[in-house]
Structure 1
Amino acid sequence: MSSKPFNPAATIKDVAAQAGVSVMTVSNVLRGRGRVSEETRKRVLETAERQGYRPNLTARALVEGKAPTLALMLSCITNPFYPEFALAANLEALRHERHLLVCNTDHEPDGGSGFLEQVAGSLSDGVLVANNGDLPMDELLRLQERGIPVVISVWELPDDLPDIPCVTFDSKAAGKLAVEHLVELGHRRIGAIIGSPKHGIHGGRYAGFRDVMRAAKIKPSAADERFTKDSFEHGYEAGKDLLSARPDLTAIFVSNDLPALGVMNAASDLGYSVPDDLSIVSITDIIPARQSRPGLTTVAIPTAEMAEKGVSLLVELMAGRATESTVVHTSPPTLVVRGSTAAPAASR
């Protein structure tokens, strides 16, 4: 049923009447259930196609007490990470014969709360949260207590797990890889721009930065650090502020690619050449990081893997094959060296 435009007026009763069969037979054909002759199946499908009939998923969910959809909670759809995550999640959902209902909270807890209240357990059988930075944990726990399957993907702290099934990656290791790269190039005057509060969602990445600085016997200074929001604009403003205050920095670690691209623009506007005057390294490896000039050196995290494993874990949870304590670990992060990093000018 694809060539005929959808006709919202067409009902399953209309299809049954035109095909000369019962409503139950039409239902069985459309769902691939029951014993139906090949001749009848073909006649029902042709009739449904001719009338432009599509099943009412809402009605089906109410009748059967389950829905063919999964809810996906995203923090900010304009951040390129989330469309990449959603695409991989959608493909995995389709593999499980499910569809995604996507909510963009836009960093507003109330937006996510309203969506969950209306959708979870009615139009959707389960909820996948792409990190929980904008949703109170107790709200997700309440959903779980109501018997609604909930999974958090992109959980960044594998040593501090939630009381909710999750897919986690080692963000601290990602932070270490990024800053070790700068140290190995010979940088000693390294600043940091973190796209969250110190103990917020990027806290693990920041901890990795601090560990490497201490190991290299470089004393981190609060004057060399800025904590901001995870966006291009906030990265630009933080970069401009940091470089204006500390023009002697030769490198900056940024906790996420989007603000890192903002820092690159700020550096250019202040007259810095990247990487000749200033090296910039980040974490994630979103598509624009590969398209920028120079290309952004970053630590790639397993975005598609986290999305796929998040959907699979949610389906397993819904089927009773996973528990509320299930944790899925992903592949380790990897350094991707591009044109935004080089040895400091003095050492060259």
Structure 2
Amino acid sequence: MWVVPESEIAGLMTPEAAFDAVEAVFASMARGEAYNFPVVREAIGHEDALYGFKGGFDRAALNLGLKAGGYWPNNQKHGLINHQSTVFLFDADTGKVAAAVGGNLLTALRTAASSAISIKHLAPAGAEVLGMIGAGHQAQFQLRSAAASGRFTRVLGWNPHPEMLARLGETAAELGLPFEAVELDRLGAEADVIISITSAFSPLLLDVHVKGPTHIAAMGTDTKGKQELDPALVARARLFTDELAQSLSIGEFQHASAQNLISDSDVTAIGRVITGDHEGRGEAEITIFDGTGVGLQDLAVAAAVVELARQQGKAQKVDI
């Protein structure tokens, strides 16, 4: 078994490599060559933690495995980030464990890659203003990945705790982008692309906020009850996601679906746009990508990093 510790990930996996790996696996999903296993996600009754498993199998790449981990909201007292995970890969031919890979940074990179992929394929023509809703740990990865497209000239930001926006502004400055903290009504009116990445359980971005051609990447909702967007906003948009069943059950579209504002057929897998099987934005004024996070993303970036680690002599071989 190959082991790639968390400490090596930053020197191996780039945002560009994560983008390529995730885009490829979304296309494999659309072609029916890859599928995700049912998600297990449970409150364990200790430290307010959520723990679970996401896994799948990509026949095209022969990536088989799972990510184990979750969310520990009290980790600051341990000097750790709240999200903790490890990816395990298995030999698809034999079932023998093939690799264990630190999953914390990989999760951040693959999540940011998903929203960047949606921006590439769904953003309105001439999009220049990026709106960021949320300023936590993941928001900086989202901003960096979106900025790599080279299309944005300025960034607007909003966060439930405004004092946290300073570090998002610092990230924007590092990227050479002017940053301004604004209220949600202005962000929705001026931003061409909006990324929401919070842990909210009630809508933040309302239907009335969003004006003109806009693409929204809703990246925070991955659990029953979480919510960032007004269901009325969802109902008037063209909808895309990484995994349809997951989006409608634990993702952002669960609420509009429960209110019968949308049907299953209103939601399209982003992979179909990547493969050219769907026109994507078309004439829609608003598009929304619901990034729920799927196990196949984790396997794709983990497999890529194992290969890089082996090539560079940074993977440890362990017999078990």
Q: With structure 2 as the length reference, what TM-score do the two structures score? A: 0.36
Higher relative contact order at CA 8 Å, sep ≥6: structure 1 or structure 2? 2
Q: Which has the higher helix share?
A: 1
Task: Name the one with the larger strand percent.
Answer: 2
The structure with more radius of gyration: 1
Taking structure 1 as the reference length, the TM-score comes to: 0.34
